[in-house]
């Protein structure tokens, strides 16, 4: 993985590799300054959410932005214990970004974009209480390369165009090569194949397990976030994974802090899905199973339609969150194109991804990030990892439907013209 130039400046976080996990390991006691910040954010969050909606963001994107802001302030207040939520210090923001990039390169792009949204909201709504000069410094900070470890002039590209039949070898960039989507190949499908594949997927099994854990109810913050004392128990229910040898390779090069951060990120993903899909409801600092969630647990009603909604949101979160319409050079496009390649007739082999996860220092940054992303897809069953990395045939129609709203997607094969709704209902 690409290394940053050596700096003699000592980070106030101490060990940067452990900084991202500080929030999860702090004592349960809540200092007065933290309580004041939490109350301030509870007052600010509704206006910020409405502002995001006015910018054309959908509900899922707004929820993700609010979670990003929570994560940011968990780290920011380590540097600035007496935090003014409406006045951010550029040096502290920069250090949070740097430490985030060191601890979790995969998530740092979203963190940067989320904080930029928040600062823009404060400025446009006349809520900014800091120095005007600090706004200008923050604007310069957000202009820095959007992906950690890349020089400002570097383009975020993977190793050549992602067309059918090609795989990643991790060697150099194919400059000037146009990236094209492979065709999604859809074989003959049946309702039985879809339901069996869905029910066997980690995404389904973990959802059932986490709903069962919610049970008669769990205490939360007023914003519906799990209490720190309960997060480990909740995360322990997410024991199903399809990561296979990608997961095993990642373990070899991950620190305990890396693994803890990834576990909490996974829990946040599921908690977001449960809430946004109406499986769990929140009221007065308590989460309980909603009627739709009980249908899901009992496999009555229309649980597989709920699963399809969940699958669609997971695809969106995995590939498109943060991308801007019409900009097809960013990493979201690259991730989407690789996912489509995994649904083609010539899916990629996993060896280069495994190697990048086992030895990140020897791999290009782009390849390492791709490998981490694919491992997260595999963990929930969006792809399977064997001789090839493949999107299960039963999920390919949904994949095409989700991505077609943003990209030119072509489906081929005997099942390409099928409608999943009609398939499930025998139409």
Phi, psi torsion values for 288, nearest 5 degrees: -140, 160
Give the range among 113-127, 279-293, 386-400 with minimum mean pLDDT: 113-127
Burial of 281 (0-12, 13-18, 19+ CB in 10 A): middle
Nearest-5° angle of CA 106, CA 54, CA 48? 65
Instruction: Enter the DSSP assignment of 73.
Output: H
> Tokens in use for 186?
């859809």
3 state DSSP class of 342: coil
The angle that helices 303-319 and 59-79 make with each other, rounded to 10 degrees, is 50
Query: DSSP letter at 181?
Result: P
Q: Report the sign of the C-alpha dihedral through residues 355, 186, 58, 302, in that order.
A: negative
| SS3 state of residue 187 | coil
Token pair 């959410």 is found at 49
End-to-end CA distance of the chain: 50
Give pLDDT tens digits for 200-235: 999 999 999 999 999 999 999 888 889 999 999 999
- Six-digit token pair at 324? 């801007």
CA atoms of 289 and 13, how far apart (whole Å): 39
What would the pLDDT profile of 128-171 be if each residue is shown by its tens digit?
Answer: 888 888 888 888 887 644 333 333 333 333 333 333 333 333 33
Q: Which of 50-64, 111-125, 195-209, 380-394 has the lowest mean pLDDT?
A: 50-64
Residue 109 structure tokens: 């792009």
- Asked whether 271 and 310 are in contact (CB, 8 A), the reply is no
SS3 (DSSP) at 388: coil
- In this prediction the pTM is 0.61
């Amino acid at each position: 993985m690409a290394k940053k130039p050596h700096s003699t400046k000592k980070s106030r976080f101490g060990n940067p590799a452990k900084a991202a996990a500080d929030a999860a390991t702090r004592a349960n006691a809540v200092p007065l300054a933290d309580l004041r910040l939490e109350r301030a954010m509870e007052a600010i969050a509704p206006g910020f959410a409405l502002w995001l909606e006015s910018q054309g963001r959908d509900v899922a994107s707004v929820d993700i932005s609010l979670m990003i802001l929570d994560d940011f302030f968990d780290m920011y207040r380590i540097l600035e214990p007496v935090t003014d939520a409406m006045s951010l210090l550029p040096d502290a923001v920069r250090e949070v970004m740097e430490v985030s990039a060191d601890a979790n390169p995969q998530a740092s792009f979203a963190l940067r974009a989320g904080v930029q949204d928040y600062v823009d909201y404060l400025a446009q709504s006349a809520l900014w209480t800091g120095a005007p000069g600090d706004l200008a410094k923050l604007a310069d900070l957000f202009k820095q390369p959007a992906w950690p470890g890349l020089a400002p002039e570097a383009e975020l590209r993977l190793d050549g165009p992602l067309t059918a039949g090609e795989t990643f070898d991790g060697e150099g960039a194919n400059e000037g090569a146009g990236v094209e989507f492979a065709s999604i190949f859809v074989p003959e499908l049946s309702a039985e194949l879809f339901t069996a594949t869905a029910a066997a997927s980690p995404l389904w099994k973990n959802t059932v397990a986490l709903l069962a854990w919610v049970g008669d109810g769990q205490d939360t913050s007023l914003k519906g976030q799990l209490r720190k004392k309960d997060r480990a128990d909740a995360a322990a229910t997410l024991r199903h994974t399809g990561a296979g040898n990608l997961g095993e390779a990642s373990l070899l090069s991950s620190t305990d802090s890396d693994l803890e951060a990834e576990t909490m990120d996974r829990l946040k993903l599921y908690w977001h899905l449960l809430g946004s899909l109406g499986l769990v409801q929140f009221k007065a600092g308590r989460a309980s199973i909603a009627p739709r969630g009980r249908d899901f647990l009992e496999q009555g009603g229309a649980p597989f339609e709920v699963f399809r909604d969940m699958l669609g949101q997971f695809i969106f979160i995995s590939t498109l969150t943060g991308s801007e319409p019409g900009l097809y050079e960013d990493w979201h496009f690259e991730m989407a194109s690789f996912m489509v390649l995994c649904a083609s007739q010539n899916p990629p082999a996993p060896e280069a991804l495994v190697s990048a996860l086992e030895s990140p220092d020897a791999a290009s940054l782009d390849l390492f990030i791709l490998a981490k992303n694919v491992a997260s897809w595999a963990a929930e069953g969006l792809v399977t990892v064997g001789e090839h990395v493949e999107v299960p045939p039963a999920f390919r129609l949904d994949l095409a439907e989700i991505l077609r709203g943003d990209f030119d997607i072509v489906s081929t094969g005997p099942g390409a013209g099928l409608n999943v709704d009609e398939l499930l209902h025998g139409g």
